Amino acid sequence: MKIKLFFLVLVLVITSAFILNQKPKNEQPRPLPNILWITCEDISPYLGCYGDKNATTPNLDKLASEGTLYSNAYANAPVCSPARFTIISGMYASSAGTHHMRSTIKIPENIRFYPEYLREAGYYCTNNSKTDYNCTGYGDLWDESSRTAHYKNRKPGQPFFAIFNLTITHESQIHRYDTNKLIHNPSKMELPPYHPDLLVVRNDWARLYDNITTMDKQVGDLLEELEQSGLKDSTIIFFYGDHGGVLPRSKRFIFNTGTQVPFITSVPELYKDLSPVTTGEKNERLVSFVDLAPTLLSLAGLPKPDNMQGDAFMGEYIDDKPDYVYFFRGRMDERYDMMRGITDGQYRYIINFMPHRPYAQHISYLWKAASMQVWEKAYRDGLCNEIQSRFFGTKPFEELYNTEADPWEVYNLAGDQEYADVLKKMRQAMKDHILKFRDGGFVPEGEYANIESASLYNYFKSDDYKLEEIFNIASIAAKGEKKNIDFLIRNLKNPNPYIRYWAATGCAILGENAIKAKQELALCLTDESPDVRIAVAESLYQIGEKQEAINTLSKILQNDNLYVVLHALNVINELGNDVMSTLDTEIETVYNKYKANYYITRTIEYFKTLN
């Protein structure tokens, strides 16, 4: 009897569970969410909802109050095209060789971009309208990509993913304007301590906030259009800036001002389970652009592909919170530099692998800003204080900032014993990240020609790329310590050309203190790698072997590799007017040969202003 009763109860339990889990025949599965991305260009979190008293942004403030404001959101690159590659691919541009500005690297066939996955899942994907992905080799990504692209053109009932990119806040918009028509009062602008308090600087800041106000209105128009279309309740909204900026010492630099972005999401009630926080809350999770692609796929119910390196922060496949956000800086237009950084949201750690180059290398486009021009003039006229002058000097090997206490990052704590443990921890975290994600920035750009373009990513992942060894020599070289000269001399003979390059660069960083390496450097003037020879020439010139250096640079200017020639021109710029004058004929030949390349022409045109 008891056995029969047991089985009867068991049958009732199973039957009940089955019935409870059956959906009514007329109940339809929840549709995929629509996703609307509204992006703007070149702004840090200069919005009222972030506490900025200069800002007039009622529409974005309202969106933040109804959604989620991310207080620790960052671009991994401080300039547009490498940042956009990181967004579209879900990969650090530095892991694919696309970290230099305006790269033409061809991506391998096994890397696919997020619109391809969304379209396969049934989404109508539109882009209005910027692409600028810093690479070649990708296929047809969008259903529409133009200034008229719009989600309204989709099939009835089809879910959409739509981007609207607003350009009014772009850097170019502060280059020309009428100061008599400014809306924001220049006298009320709160200037960072590194900017001199000059009217022209204040005017540029006021113009930036005017543009942000215009952008806010454009956001309001897009949100109103969404609501009028009856789609607001089925659409997840993202708003963010494409990197920091835009005034001098922000865009292009991996400080907070160049990388931290405004980032707001709004999730309708139907999809609240896809958001980890409730309406109106601030989310302090670390979020960066490498996370956007996996997050989009997660919202669409799709798992992250193996090549994507970011962490989904919304949707079905939310990943664990990261401990750090990683930043990279490579060639910015015509100027070579190499910086890497990380933040945990409070502290920011930066390594300068080319500390012998000033922060303020002359970049033609940056110098179009009136504020950059007057800042440089004030510096040259001796009118800047120590903090304001620092931008025009060379860099320390390491930088550490407490961004909560020092939001403008002007007090470097790297040499402060009180922060020695923080420095040590972040230094190790930086190295771990570089090795884990196979940072390809330790290979000179001119050397990419020796690796098949579409294979760069796969090469960086392979054992052939001796990254840990290269990283270690690059770090020692960048310290610029005379005690390491014997180590650098030994590595000038290393069979690996990238290690030889960093050993030679270390000698260039040491300047006159590399005199002990003169003989070994001279032997490297016949190195098979032109990038090694360029670094050797710079070092030899500084220790008195000027003619040998000039002869070497003269020959390299005849090279057919654009990036090798650009590297040589960068070094010639640093060595000064005497070298420019001596190589005047060769430089003019280069100018005529590369008239179609504005990086070459801008560099040489700048030379002419110095003579």
* Strands ordered across the beta sheet of 235-241: 144-145, 124-128, 160-166, 34-40, 235-241, 263-266, 68-70, 282-283
Q: How does DSSP classify residue 124?
A: E
List the beta bridge partners of residue 283.
Answer: 70
Q: Return the number of other C-beta atoms located less than 10 Å from residue 84's C-beta.
A: 25
Q: How far is CA 534 from CA 59, 233, 292, 484, 555, in A?
A: 52, 59, 39, 21, 10
Rounded-to-integer distance, Cα 173 and Cα 204, Å: 10
- Determine the Cα angle at 115 with ends 113 and 119, to 5°: 130
Residue 28 structure tokens: 């339809």
Sign, CA torsion 492/494/495/497: negative
Rounded-to-integer distance, Cα 187 and Cα 504, Å: 49
Coil/strand/helix, residue 164:
strand
Q: Decide if 524 is catalytic.
A: no
- Biggest alpha carbon distance in the chain? 109
- Determine the Cα angle at 33 with ends 29 and 38, to 5°: 175
Annotated active-site residue in 40, 49, 80, 384: 80
CB under 8 A, 24+ apart: contacts of 373-380: 373/200, 374/196, 374/198, 374/200, 374/201, 375/195, 375/196, 375/198, 375/201, 375/248, 378/196, 378/198
Q: How far is CA 111 from CA 90, 307, 457, 535, in A?
A: 10, 7, 9, 34
Rounded-to-integer distance, Cα 151 and Cα 154, Å: 6
Q: How does DSSP classify residue 48?
A: G
Residue 155 structure tokens: 């099939």
Strands (E), 44-166: 68-70, 73-74, 124-128, 144-145, 160-166
Catalytic residues: 80
